[in-house]
Amino acid sequence: MVVMGAPVVTAVSPGSPAALSGVAVGDELLSINGVSPMDVIEYHQLTDGLNPVFILHRVGEALDRRVIIAKDPGVPVGIEVSSAVFDRIRTCDNHCSFCFIYQLPKGLRKSLYLKDDDYRLSFLYGNFTTLTRFTELDAERVLEEHLSPLYVSIHATDPTVRAELLRNPRGATSLRWLKVLLEGGIAVHGQVVVCPGVNDKDVLLDTLLTLLDEYPDLETIGVVPLGLSDHSGEPTMRAHTQQEAAAVIDLVEAHQRRCKRALGRKVVFASDEYYLIAGRELPSLRAYDGVPQHENGVGMIRTFERELLRPTKQHHTRHSGFFQAVDGAPAEGYRAVRSSTHSTSEGDDRPVSILTGSYGAKVLPPLVAALGRNDVTIVEVENRFFGGNISVAGLMVAEDINRVLTTIPASHRVLLPDVCLSGDRFLDGFTLSDLRRDVEVLETSGAALRRALLHPSAPTQDEAVAS
| 199, 272: one domain | yes
Task: Please tell me whether residues 358 and 422 are part of one structural domain.
Answer: yes
Region of 329 (left: φ > 0; alpha: ψ -120 to 50; beta: rest) is beta
Among residues 272, 291, 323, which one ends one of the domains?
A: 323
Looking at the fold, whether 156 and 138 belong to one and the same domain comes out as: yes
Q: Are residues 127 and 212 in the same domain?
A: yes
Q: Answer with the one of 22, 56, 81 that is the final residue of a domain.
A: 81
Note down pLDDT in tens along the chain; length 467 residues.
444 678 999 999 999 999 999 999 999 999 999 999 999 999 999 999 999 999 999 999 999 999 999 999 999 999 999 888 998 888 999 999 999 999 999 888 888 888 889 999 999 888 999 999 999 999 999 999 999 999 999 999 999 999 999 999 999 999 999 999 999 999 999 999 999 999 999 999 999 999 999 999 999 999 999 999 999 999 999 999 999 999 999 999 999 999 999 999 999 999 999 999 999 999 999 999 999 999 899 999 999 999 999 876 454 444 444 333 466 556 565 556 667 777 766 667 899 999 999 999 999 999 999 999 999 999 999 999 999 999 999 999 999 999 999 999 999 999 999 999 988 899 999 999 999 999 999 999 999 999 999 864 444 444 444 43
**Angle between helix 201-214 and helix 242-263 axes, rounded to 10 deg:** 20
305 and 270 housed in the same domain: yes
Is the domain of 263 the same as that of 297? yes
Residue 248 domain-assigned (yes or no): yes
Domain contains 310: yes
**Beta-carbon contacts of residue 377 (< 8 Å; ≥ 6 apart):** 351, 352, 353, 354, 408, 412
| 267 and 379 both lie in a single domain | no
* CA 225 – CA 380 distance, rounded (Å): 21
Among the candidates 275, 296, 323, a domain finishes at 323
| Residues 272/300, Cβ–Cβ less than 8 Å | yes
Phi and psi at 270, nearest 5°, equal -85, 145
Length of the chain: 467
Q: 137, exposed or middle or buried, with CB in 10 Å at 0-12, 13-18, 19+?
A: exposed
Verify that 77 and 94 share a domain, yes or no.
no
Which one, of 246, 458, 256, 275, lies nearest residue 372 by Cα? 458
Domain presence at residue 18: yes
Question: CA angle, corner 19, sides to 18 and 23, nearest 5?
Answer: 65
- Domain assignment of residue 12, yes or no: yes
Which residues are bridge partners to 223 per DSSP? 192, 270
Q: Are 283 and 277 in contact (CB under 8 A)?
A: no
Instruction: Answer for the pair 23, 12: CB distance below 8 angstroms, yes or no.
Output: yes
Distances in whole angstroms, Cα of residue 298 to Cα of each of 214, 220, 360: 24, 11, 15
Integer Cα distance of 11 and 43 in angstroms: 15
438 part of a folded domain: yes
Question: Is residue 329 a part of any domain in this protein?
Answer: no
- What was the pLDDT predicted at 329? 59
CA distances from 57 to 30, 31, 32, 33, 403 (A): 7, 10, 12, 15, 48
Domain carrying residue 21: 2-81
Here the CATH number for the domain that contains residue 36 is 2.30.42.10
For residue 331, is it within any domain?
no
**Are 74 and 32 part of one and the same domain?**
yes
Based on the structure, what is the number of domains in the chain?
Answer: 3
What is the domain-level CATH number for residue 224? Answer: 3.20.20
Helix 300-309 to helix 358-369 angle (10° resolution) is: 30
Could you tell me if 301 and 409 lie in one domain?
no
Q: Is 328 a member of any domain?
A: no
Whether residue 45 sits in one domain with residue 149 = no
Verify that 349 and 427 share a domain, yes or no: yes
